[in-house]
C-alpha cells in the first residue's frame, strides 16, 4: 500500500465520518475532500474539481430549476380543488386520492414542499373519522418517502444522473439509463402504495398537532409563463427518452437550454438560478463525482471492493451481496439523510460489484433504492420528521405499520432488481 493510497483512505475516512454525523453540510464535506486531494498531491486540481464541469451535475442543476417552476403551475391548484370535491365521498376513496396526488407531486418537488401541500388536504379530514388526519398524514408521508423522484420526469429525471455521479469514476461503463431506476423500484413502491392504503388501520390513533402546521401557499405562475414552462418541460423529457437518437452530452445540455429559455421569457431571473446552482445538493454531486473518479484512478475503489468481499467471506454468493447492501443501506438511511446514504454507499457498492465480477448496475440500483426506505424512524428524512412530529406518533407504536412494510420493500426490491438486471452482466 503506497503513500497515495494511505492519504486517499484518510481523506475518505474523514468524508465517511462527516456524512454519517452530518456535522458539516454535505456539499462542504465534498469540497473539503476535493481540496485535500489537491493539497496532498493525490490529484491535480483539474480532476479534483472536474465535477463542476460534469454534464451530469450541470443537467441536475438545470432540471431542479425547471422542476421548481413546474411546482408553481396551476396543476397544484387543480389538485387542491379535486381533493375538496372528494370530501364526503368515502374515506377509502379520499385516501386513494390522497395517495395518488402525493405520488404525482413527489416527482415534481422536494419532500417538505410536497408534504406542506398535502397537509392542506389532510387537515380537512374529520378527527373522529376512521381514517383520522394523523393516520392520513403518516400514510401520505410514507408514500412520499417511497415515491420521491422515482418516475423519470421533472425531479425524477435527475435521479439517474445523480446516482451515476456517485460511481461513474469507479465504473463509468455501467452508467444507468434514464428509466433503469424506475424499472427496479416500480414493484416495491407500488406494493408500498397499496400497503399504505390497505393497511392504514395499522397506524395507531394519535392527535395531530395542527397548531404546528405552517403551510405556505404556492405562488401560481401566469398563464403565459405556465405555457412556457410546459413547453420547456416537454422538450426536455422528449430529449431524455430519445437516447437512441440523441447523445448523452446533448441530452444533458438541453435542460440548460430550457433554463435559458425560462430566463429569456421572464419566467425566472438570475437570482432564482443562482440559488439552485449554489445549493448544497449541487456541491455534493459535483464533489462526489470527482471523488469517485479519484477512487478509480488511485485504485482505492478496487481495494475497498475487495475488502468488502473479504469481510463477506471472500467469495460470497451474489444474492447475499445484494441482500447485505439492501439491508445495511435501508437500515442506515433511517438514521441518516437519503442523499447522504446514497453518497456513502453507492461508491462502495460499485467497487464491491466490480471486485466480485457482479453486475454493477444491479448492486448500485438496489443500494440507491434502499436509500429511500427512510420511513421507520423520525430521523430518516424530512417526510418522517413531519409524520412523527406533526402526527404526534410514538415510534414503538408505529412499528406494527412500518416493519411489515420494511420487509415487503426489502424482499420485493431484491427480487425486482435481479429480475430486470441479472446479477452476472
pLDDT (mean) for 319-341:
85
pLDDT at 313 over 70: yes
- Residue 367, pLDDT score: 94
Give pLDDT tens digits for 386-421.
788 778 788 888 899 999 999 999 999 999 999 999
pLDDT (mean) for 22-34:
86
- The mean-pLDDT minimum among 210-214, 276-280, 320-324 falls in 210-214
SS3 labels along 294-355: HHHHHCHHHHHHHHHHHHCCCCCCHHHHHHHHHHHHHHHCCCCCHHHHHHHHHHHHHHHHHH
pLDDT (mean) for 134-160:
88
- The mean-pLDDT minimum among 133-147, 157-171, 181-195, 230-244 falls in 230-244
**DSSP state letters, 36-48:** HHHHTTSS-HHHH
pLDDT (mean) for 159-177:
86
Long-range CB pairs of 229-232, under 8 A, 24+ apart, other chains included: 229/66, 229/69, 229/70, 229/72, 229/73, 229/262, 229/267, 230/73, 232/66, 232/258, 232/261, 232/262
Contact present, 41 and 297 (Cβ < 8 Å): no
Give pLDDT tens digits for 215-254.
455 567 888 998 998 899 888 878 877 766 777 778 888 8
Q: Kindly report the number of other CB atoms within 10 A of residue 60's CB atom.
A: 25
Q: Which of 101-110, 151-160, 226-235, 308-317 has the highest mean pLDDT?
A: 226-235
pLDDT at 368 over 90: yes
pLDDT (mean) for 141-157:
88
Q: Look at residues 76, 85, 5 and name the one whose alpha carbon lies nearest to residue 40.
A: 5
Q: Considering the chain, what is the average pLDDT of its residues? A: 83
pLDDT at 64 over 80: no
pLDDT at 424 over 80: no
- Residue 316, pLDDT score: 82
Is 192 or 19 the better-scoring residue by pLDDT?
192
pLDDT (mean) for 98-126:
79
Is 158 or 47 the better-scoring residue by pLDDT?
47
Share of the chain above pLDDT 70, in %: 90
pLDDT at 150 over 70: yes
pLDDT (mean) for 13-42:
86
- Residue 360, pLDDT score: 92
- The mean-pLDDT minimum among 39-43, 221-225, 334-338 falls in 334-338
Contact present, 297 and 377 (Cβ < 8 Å): no
pLDDT at 209 over 60: no
pLDDT (mean) for 252-258:
88
DSSP percent split of the chain into helix, strand, coil, nearest 5? 75, 0, 25
Amino acid at each position: 500500500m503506497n503513500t497515495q493510497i494511505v492519504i486517499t483512505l484518510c481523506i475518505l475516512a474523514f468524508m465517511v465520518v462527516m456524512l454519517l454525523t452530518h456535522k458539516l453540510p454535505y456539499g462542504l464535506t465534498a469540497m473539503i475532500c476535493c481540496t485535500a486531494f489537491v493539497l496532498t498531491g493525490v490529484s491535480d486540481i483539474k480532476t479534483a474539481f472536474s465535477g463542476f464541469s460534469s454534464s451530469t451535475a450541470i443537467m441536475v442543476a438545470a432540471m431542479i430549476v425547471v422542476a421548481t417552476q413546474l411546482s408553481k403551475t396551476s396543476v397544484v391548484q387543480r389538485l387542491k380543488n379535486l381533493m375538496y370535491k372528494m370530501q364526503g365521498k368515502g374515506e377509502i376513496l379520499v385516501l386513494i386520492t390522497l395517495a395518488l396526488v402525493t405520488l404525482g407531486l413527489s416527482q415534481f418537488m422536494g419532500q417538505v414542499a410536497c408534504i406542506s401541500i398535502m397537509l392542506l388536504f389532510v387537515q380537512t379530514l374529520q378527527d373522529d373519522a376512521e381514517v383520522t388526519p394523523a393516520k392520513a398524514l403518516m400514510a401520505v408521508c410514507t408514500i412520499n418517502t417511497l415515491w420521491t423522484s422515482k418516475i423519470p420526469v421533472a425531479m425524477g429525471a435527475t435521479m439517474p444522473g445523480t446516482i451515476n455521479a456517485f460511481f461513474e469514476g469507479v465504473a463509468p461503463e455501467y452508467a444507468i439509463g434514464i428509466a433503469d431506476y424506475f424499472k427496479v423500484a416500480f414493484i416495491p413502491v407500488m406494493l408500498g402504495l397499496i400497503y399504505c392504503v390497505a393497511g392504514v388501520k395499522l397506524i395507531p390513533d394519535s392527535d395531530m398537532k395542527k397548531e404546528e402546521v405552517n403551510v405556505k401557499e404556492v405562488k401560481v405562475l401566469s398563464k403565459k409563463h405556465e405555457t412556457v414552462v410546459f413547453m420547456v418541460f416537454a422538450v426536455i423529457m422528449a430529449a431524455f427518452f430519445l437516447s437512441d437518437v440523441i447523445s448523452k452530452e446533448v441530452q444533458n445540455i438541453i435542460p440548460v437550454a430550457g433554463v435559458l429559455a425560462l430566463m429569456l421569457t421572464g419566467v425566472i431571473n438570475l437570482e432564482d438560478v443562482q440559488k439552485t446552482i449554489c445549493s448544497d445538493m449541487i456541491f455534493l454531486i459535483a464533489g462526489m463525482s470527482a471523488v469517485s473518479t479519484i477512487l478509480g484512478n488511485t485504485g482505492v475503489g478496487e481495494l475497498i471492493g475487495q475488502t468488502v468481499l473479504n469481510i463477506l467471506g471472500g467469495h460470497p454468493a451474489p444474492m447475499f451481496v445484494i441482500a447485505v447492501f439492501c439491508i445495511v443501506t435501508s437500515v442506515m438511511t433511517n438514521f441518516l439523510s437519503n442523499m447522504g446514504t446514497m453518497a456513502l454507499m453507492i461508491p462502495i457498492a460499485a467497487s464491491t460489484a466490480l471486485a466480485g465480477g457482479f453486475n454493477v448496475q444491479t448492486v448500485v440500483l438496489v443500494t440507491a433504492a434502499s436509500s429511500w426506505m427512510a420511513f421507520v424512524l423520525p430521523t430518516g428524512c424530512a417526510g418522517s420528521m413531519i409524520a412523527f412530529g406533526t402526527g404526534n406518533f410514538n415510534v414503538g407504536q408505529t412499528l406494527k405499520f412500518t416493519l411489515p412494510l420494511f420487509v415487503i420493500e426489502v424482499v420485493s426490491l431484491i427480487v425486482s432488481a435481479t429480475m430486470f438486471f441479472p446479477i452476472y452482466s
